[in-house]
């Protein structure tokens, strides 16, 4: 099947329409950056540069909009080197340069070296990916450690895949501080370009527990 035929199939049109219909349904409900019930949009763009059979460099950037998708409030650029001694294990260091803001303060920088270890495998026709990440976050107010773990499952179909995952965050001095559950389709646009549309339900402690509804798109390019 040609790519143009894939993207005009009824199932993909239906999924895309459902995604944007849910977005429009939730968007009028609440306001305020990271306020209770706030609706957000997150846009990811990631590039993978293969260095050898066992290593690759990943560059990623993200921009988040909050307050019912009316205000940008978080962005970063990130680079990670991953080494894969076996097809099922990858690990390596990275660095993230962050800019973030709140309603009370302007934009502020943060600096975050990090280390990833990733396991992946097959569960019947499903694929699973388990990523653990340790970050050291440095801001003008304090420095702290963050441990996060995300388990993702991918179910392939003829011309697209369905994915769902859950990620937990543990922050130094606070303990369990955030949970993210997301679902969404993955489209293979070409041999080196893919896209994931997703809905993410986030529970976060700021300092009281709040729920945010996140819609987003992840574009991935491989070279």
Confidence check: pLDDT of 203 > 70: yes
**Is residue 13 within a helix (H) or strand (E), and if so which, with residue range?**
helix 10-26
Looking at residue 108, its pLDDT comes to 94
Rounded-to-integer distance, Cα 199 and Cα 126, Å: 20
Angle at 169 between CA 70 and CA 213, to 5 degrees: 30
Looking at residue 18, its pLDDT comes to 57
Mean pLDDT of 213-217: 96
Task: Give how many domains the chain has, as a whole number.
Answer: 1
Q: Give tens-digit pLDDT for 80-103.
A: 999 999 999 999 999 999 999 976
Average pLDDT over the chain, rounded to an integer: 88
Q: Give tens-digit pLDDT for 6-30.
A: 444 555 555 555 555 555 555 444 4
Q: The CATH number of the domain where 55 resides is what? A: 2.40.160.40
Rounded-to-integer distance, Cα 3 and Cα 165, Å: 27
68 burial via Cβ count (<10 Å: 0-12, 13-18, 19+):
buried
pTM (2 d.p.): 0.84
CA distances from 66 to 21, 22, 27, 44 (A): 18, 16, 10, 15
- Provide the 10 A C-beta neighbour count for residue 115: 14
Looking at residue 106, its pLDDT comes to 85
At 2, is the pLDDT very low, low, confident or very high (cuts 50, 70, 90)?
A: very low
Domain that holds residue 194: 3-222
């Amino acid at each position: 099947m040609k790519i143009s035929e894939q993207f005009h199939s009824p199932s993909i049109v239906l999924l895309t329409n459902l995604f944007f219909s849910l977005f429009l349904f939730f968007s009028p409900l609440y306001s305020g950056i990271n306020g209770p019930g706030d609706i957000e949009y997150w846009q990811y763009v990631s590039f993978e540069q293969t260095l050898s059979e066992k290593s690759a460099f990943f560059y990623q950037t993200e921009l988040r909009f909050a307050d019912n998708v009316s205000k940008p409030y978080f962005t970063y650029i990130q680079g990670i080197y991953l080494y894969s001694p076996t097809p099922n294990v990858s690990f390596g260091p990275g660095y993230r340069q962050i800019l973030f803001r709140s309603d009370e303060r302007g934009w502020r920088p943060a600096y975050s070296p990090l280390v990833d270890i990733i396991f992946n495998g097959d569960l019947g026709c499903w694929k699973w990916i388990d990523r653990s990440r340790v970050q050291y976050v440095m801001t003008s107010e304090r420095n702290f450690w963050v441990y996060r773990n995300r388990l993702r499952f991918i179910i392939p179909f003829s011309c697209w895949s369905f994915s769902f995952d859950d990620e937990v965050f543990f922050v130094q001095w606070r303990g369990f501080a955030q949970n993210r559950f997301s679902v969404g389709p993955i489209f293979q646009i070409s041999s080196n370009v893919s896209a994931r549309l997703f809905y993410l339900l986030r529970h976060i402690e700021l300092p009281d527990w709040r729920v945010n509804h996140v819609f987003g798109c992840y574009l991935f390019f491989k070279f």
